[in-house]
Structure 1
Amino acid sequence: MRTIQLLLVVVGAIAVTAVAHRRGMQSSMVVVILAAAVSFIPGLPRFELEAELILSVVLPPLLYSAALNFSFPTFTRNFKPIMALGVGMVVVSTLATGMVAWWVVPGLTLVPALVLGAVVAPPDAVAGLAVGRELGLPKRLMAILTGESLVNDAAALTIFSLTVAAATGDHTFFDNPVLLFAYSAVVGVGIGFVLGNLVHWIRMRLRDSGLETALGLVVPFAAYLLAEEVHASGVLAVVMAGFTLGHHNTDAGFATRLQARQVWSSLDVLLEAFVFAYMGLQCRFVFAELHPDDWLEFTLAAVAVLLAVLVVRPLWMLLTYGRIRLTRKLFGRRRGEPLPGKYLVVMSWMGMRGVVTLAAAAGVPASVPGRDAIQALAFVVAVGTLLIQGPTLPWLIRKLDISAPQEQAEEEAANQKAREVSMNAVRQAMVDLYNQPPPGVTPEVVERFKQRYVAAAQARRAADDDMDSRMRSLREVSVTVRRAVLAAQRQALGRARDSGELDDETVRRELDRLDYEEAAAFS
């Protein structure tokens, strides 16, 4: 029965997402609202999955896909703001929300209140980043928000395990929270790095796009489960594996990159639609355990906790970056380019909660006092932030009129530089082929192919259509030469990226262009 329910949820969520996209609406909100309404159908059984299943099946591919398309150098350049949000913000949110819950929720003691704080601490950037991409937010702002989403889940789940252990009297792998977090982070990152390089080594010897893509689908689950098996951070293992394989993407074949891009894009849509549908379907059942006489007290407590979650992030941003700006003015410190005030306002309002909050709430043991209240309040926070911040975020972005003309100019200059690197590689590859031609290829053939290839590359169209009759008999030779040229272009782009001449995003865009060019030429 559960399998049929799962299929119906997935199909329904995808259909609603498609309609929402067509009508220009935020699909996450539409799916949550409709699913919540469906949950009140009389006689509808509860569709519930184990928390561990959500964390180990739904979360890893979403994180892995984001890490694959994220630049590790960009992560390091924005390391301080990412860690301030991904770790500092999670700790502060846990403490602040926990203290408010301890104060306002009847019968909830301090430690279970901190469990609730850890449950609602990590923002889910899926909806916020989707809005940001749609409205064209600047790259630096998107980089910080994406980096935060890759780090905050690990911090929140570590704090969650500590607070649950304190509430139940159990012991964690390390009783010291600092040692536990350090161990989880270091070992998790190490497992992801080793696994990523091992998979890259295997992938280079498969040379089959289907097998390589299938292997890539296994990586996030393997990284997460391996790390969790040794009590390390599965989240950081998944992220590091994605970083590693994303960095080595220039070594893969064009068919593998094109195929993987479509597969992960489809999987992202599928999982995101399912997550929001799952959130909505829990609506009626989450509150079923509450006694009717407790509704007024619960409503007041839920409003207070939700307000605490909404307010603590802007306050943390104000205190953190206000202090940095004050220090700059008083002492004249100029380390790095400060974030514009408009960026800080948008970042402070991107605090929607999602899959990790719901999974952690479902994973609260029955022995934790106040478990029913914790789960109900977590649901209110997750859905409340989505319905309050979700509709207002696009309005806020438009109202602030955030743009980065300098960044756009730099991006265009980087694209031009990438094309220059690519064309220089073409010329050098032609010289090498002319001096040492492949078997059966004369220097005159290479020269004629060179003239036509360069012209076609500059015009962005394939050269095969206008080959004269004498060259058609040499198609196999031209394919060999062109593939050698494309390989040289990719190698040159990889060297430019590794030397810091080009950033990862620019190299990826140029690789995409070369991949589609090769696919069109050899399909």
Structure 2
Amino acid sequence: MHDLPELMALLAGALAVTALARRLGFSAPLALVVVGLAMSYLPGLPDYQLDPEIVLVLIIAPLLYSAALRSSSIGIKANLRPIGLLAFGLVLFSTLAAGLVAWRLVPGMSLGVALVLGAVVAPPDAVAAIAIGRRLGLPRRIMTVLGGESLVNDATALTAYRVAIAAVIGSGLSLLGGVGMFLLAAAGGLVVGYVVGWLVHQVRARLDDGNLESAVGLLVPFATYLLAEEIHASGVLAVVVAGLYLGHRAPASDAATRLQDRAVWDAADTLLEAMVFALIGLQLRTVVEGVSADLLPLTAAGLAVTAAVVAARALWVFSTLYAPSWLSGKRDAPPWRHAVVVSWSGMRGVVSLAAASAVPVATLSGAPFPDRAEVMFLAFFVTLATLLLHGSTLPWLIRLLGVRGQESYTDALAEAEAQHNAARAARDRLDDLTRESEPPGMVADRLRQAAQHRSNQAWERLGRSSDEVGESPSEAYRRLRGEMLAAERDVFVRFRDEHRIDDEVLRRVLHELDLEELMLRRE
């Protein structure tokens, strides 16, 4: 996948499918996988082979970093136990379950190679699940747990994968040595991520240039990953820690920088996620052609391994959630419906395919790595099967169980209280500034009205809906001001077209109008 025209064609096609899926209300990841599968056998289509290093550095690292920037470190800390159980315990449990099933069902596959496969298919990719959950309004705690799991589980699986690979190729790694390697990689990733996050925050705080700050931020995931991997630490975990650190300290940045960063990473996420899921589908022909064994028993083994990872997740989720409360006699576990949704959110993704592609071709003795093609086929099968199974049924399951978040009112109440106190602080500050000299015109009155308006907006959202009481004053203000901004924009564009103002003037004015329009919008 080094030919630039082929890469551009892939990106353009993936974005086109994404746009169509969003327009029709379909799941974009699922649509991309299905279209990729259909296109993989078209005559003349380029062979889009996965380069694992490129995937991990240029796709996985920025996606994880962007997700970490927008994650709540406070929310993750509050849910550290369930996230840890899923991101560490479940990954290792799934590695063992899938490995044992493959060892028993794939003829001639050794236990070591089977555990390599287990580590490959162990980590779920929650991108599709989180997108579905956000669209359907899942409770915040479920979203936080799924997001936290997806940030860390890749690091666990890739570290376990390294240990299994080392054992198979004959590096003489013992079980104790493997555990030590795992702990050192995790600890190294934590340290590297924290140090990089701290250093980048200090540098950006002193730049006083929004474009430079955003440019530095773009380098963080790639540099952090490569630095951690260079010292044999977990690059994935380092990227996540750096993202969480910088995301938590984003309020210290300039407002323009925050707006720019959000726009940049939103666009990057859309592009990278589209490419990731398209690549999953396009791998079908390459993976199938690489297998020389009979596909029928291998497909049966793929079904069994898929069932193993699905059952392992359900068993782990329910046992870790409810066993402690049953043993202690307390009844403080989450509702069973929530556990069902979490257990059914185990779609695998491109990390599994990248890890399978990175399996060495030969051992240290020079012999071919045993069953490498079978590992790739089974990894692809499990990834595809879980994406199609969970991706197509998870929305239906959420609606059937009625699992919806109840945070909207409490969020609105908390925001209203904060807005009220913020408006009071703003008015007090204005009074201090204008006590000795009143600004000209009606400036002070307009500023006080603006502060009161922002406070009123939050309180109005606590009342009945607009369907019941009609349009609120704030809604009317946003609608009318939006129409006024559109009229202003039309005039400036017309003046540019009539050569009465320069494009540079138009861009500057449109930027100001766009910022005001963004302030009017409410998510």
Q: Residues of 2 paired with 1:81 and 1:177: CA distance? A: 25
* AA matched with 1:451: D
Given that 1:430 and 1:446 are in contact with CA atoms closer than 8 Å, whether structure 2 keeps it comes out as no
Q: Residues of 2 paired with 1:51 and 1:138: CA distance? A: 35
Change (3 A) 1:68 1:97: same
Secondary structure of the corresponding residue to residue 415 of structure 2: helix
Structure 1 match to 2:36: 35
Matching residue within 312, 332, 336 for 1:341: 336
Quote the RMSD (CA, aligned, Å): 2.3
Structure 2 match to 1:362: 357
Structure 2 match to 1:306: 306
Q: CA deviation at 1:431?
A: 4.1
1:144-173 superposed Cα distances (whole Å, 9 cap, x missing partner): 110001110110000000000000012679
Q: Residues of 2 paired with 1:147 and 1:264: CA distance? A: 19
Q: CA deviation at 1:36?
A: 1.4
1:458-485 superposed Cα distances (whole Å, 9 cap, x missing partner): 32579xx9xxxxxxxxxxxxxxxxxxxx
Given that 1:98 and 1:117 are in contact with CA atoms closer than 8 Å, whether structure 2 keeps it comes out as yes
Q: CA deviation at 1:350?
A: 0.2
1:290-344 superposed Cα distances (whole Å, 9 cap, x missing partner): 23x6122112111111111221111111221220231242xx4x7xx53221110
1:402-460 superposed Cα distances (whole Å, 9 cap, x missing partner): 1243x33321222112212321331332244246xxxxxx5222995443212113325
Q: CA deviation at 1:190?
A: 1.6
Structure 1 match to 2:498: none
Structure 1 match to 2:463: none
Given that 1:255 and 1:519 are in contact with CA atoms closer than 8 Å, whether structure 2 keeps it comes out as no
Secondary structure of the corresponding residue to residue 397 of structure 1: helix
Q: Residues of 1 paired with 2:107 and 2:444: CA distance? A: 78
Secondary structure of the corresponding residue to residue 365 of structure 1: coil
Given that 2:207 and 2:213 are in contact with CA atoms closer than 8 Å, whether structure 1 keeps it comes out as yes
Structure 2 match to 1:403: 404
Secondary structure of the corresponding residue to residue 438 of structure 2: helix
- In the TM superposition, 1:181-220 aligns within 5 A as 181-220=182-221
- The more displaced of 115-124 and 415-424 is 415-424
* AA matched with 1:443: S
Secondary structure of the corresponding residue to residue 439 of structure 2: helix
Structure 1 match to 2:439: 445
Structure 1 match to 2:451: 457
Change (3 A) 1:191 1:152: same
Q: Residues of 2 paired with 1:178 and 1:383: CA distance? A: 31
Q: Residues of 1 paired with 2:183 and 2:310: CA distance? A: 29
Percent same amino acid among aligned pairs? 47
Q: CA deviation at 1:21?
A: 0.6
- Across the two proteins, how many residue pairs are aligned to each other? 457
- In the TM superposition, 1:245-260 aligns within 5 A as 245-260=246-261
Structure 1 match to 2:139: 138
* AA matched with 2:351: V
Structure 1 match to 2:484: none
Change (3 A) 1:223 1:346: same
Change (3 A) 1:10 1:430: same
Q: CA deviation at 1:518?
A: 10
Secondary structure of the corresponding residue to residue 334 of structure 2: coil
- The more displaced of 395-404 and 107-116 is 395-404
Q: CA deviation at 1:213?
A: 1.0
1:98-120 superposed Cα distances (whole Å, 9 cap, x missing partner): 00000001111100000000000
1:211-237 superposed Cα distances (whole Å, 9 cap, x missing partner): 111111101111111111111111111
Given that 1:173 and 1:231 are in contact with CA atoms closer than 8 Å, whether structure 2 keeps it comes out as no
Change (3 A) 1:120 1:197: same
Q: CA deviation at 1:194?
A: 1.5
Q: CA deviation at 1:516?
A: 5.2
Q: Residues of 2 paired with 1:446 and 1:520: CA distance? A: 26
Structure 2 match to 1:420: 420
1:167-213 superposed Cα distances (whole Å, 9 cap, x missing partner): 00126799623322222222211211121121111112222211111
- The more displaced of 30-39 and 384-393 is 30-39
- In the TM superposition, 1:214-229 aligns within 5 A as 214-229=215-230
Structure 1 match to 2:20: 19
Structure 2 match to 1:176: 177
Q: CA deviation at 1:64?
A: 0.7
Q: Residues of 2 paired with 1:94 and 1:120: CA distance? A: 7
Q: Residues of 1 paired with 2:174 and 2:259: CA distance? A: 42
Q: Residues of 2 paired with 1:215 and 1:11: CA distance? A: 27
Given that 2:322 and 2:333 are in contact with CA atoms closer than 8 Å, whether structure 1 keeps it comes out as no
Change (3 A) 1:173 1:254: farther
* AA matched with 2:352: T
TM-score (norm 1): 0.83
Q: CA deviation at 1:43?
A: 4.1
Secondary structure of the corresponding residue to residue 287 of structure 1: helix
Given that 1:433 and 1:446 are in contact with CA atoms closer than 8 Å, whether structure 2 keeps it comes out as no
Secondary structure of the corresponding residue to residue 366 of structure 1: coil
- In the TM superposition, 1:49-60 aligns within 5 A as 49-60=50-61
Secondary structure of the corresponding residue to residue 119 of structure 1: helix
Structure 1 match to 2:323: 323
Q: Residues of 2 paired with 1:455 and 1:206: CA distance? A: 35
1:72-107 superposed Cα distances (whole Å, 9 cap, x missing partner): 111110000000100000000000000000000111
Change (3 A) 1:284 1:12: same
* AA matched with 1:428: D
Change (3 A) 1:393 1:446: farther
Structure 2 match to 1:104: 105
* AA matched with 2:349: G
* AA matched with 1:339: P
Structure 2 match to 1:430: 430
Structure 2 match to 1:70: 71
Structure 2, unaligned runs of 5 or more: 363-368, 455-476, 482-513
Q: Residues of 2 paired with 1:171 and 1:448: CA distance? A: 80
Given that 1:174 and 1:180 are in contact with CA atoms closer than 8 Å, whether structure 2 keeps it comes out as no
Change (3 A) 1:271 1:241: same
Structure 2 match to 1:161: 162
Given that 2:167 and 2:173 are in contact with CA atoms closer than 8 Å, whether structure 1 keeps it comes out as no
1:482-506 superposed Cα distances (whole Å, 9 cap, x missing partner): xxxxxxxxxxxxxxxxxxxxxxxxx
Q: Residues of 2 paired with 1:130 and 1:171: CA distance? A: 43
Q: Residues of 2 paired with 1:280 and 1:69: CA distance? A: 28
Q: Residues of 1 paired with 2:176 and 2:230: CA distance? A: 18
Q: Residues of 2 paired with 1:517 and 1:289: CA distance? A: 56
Change (3 A) 1:409 1:517: same
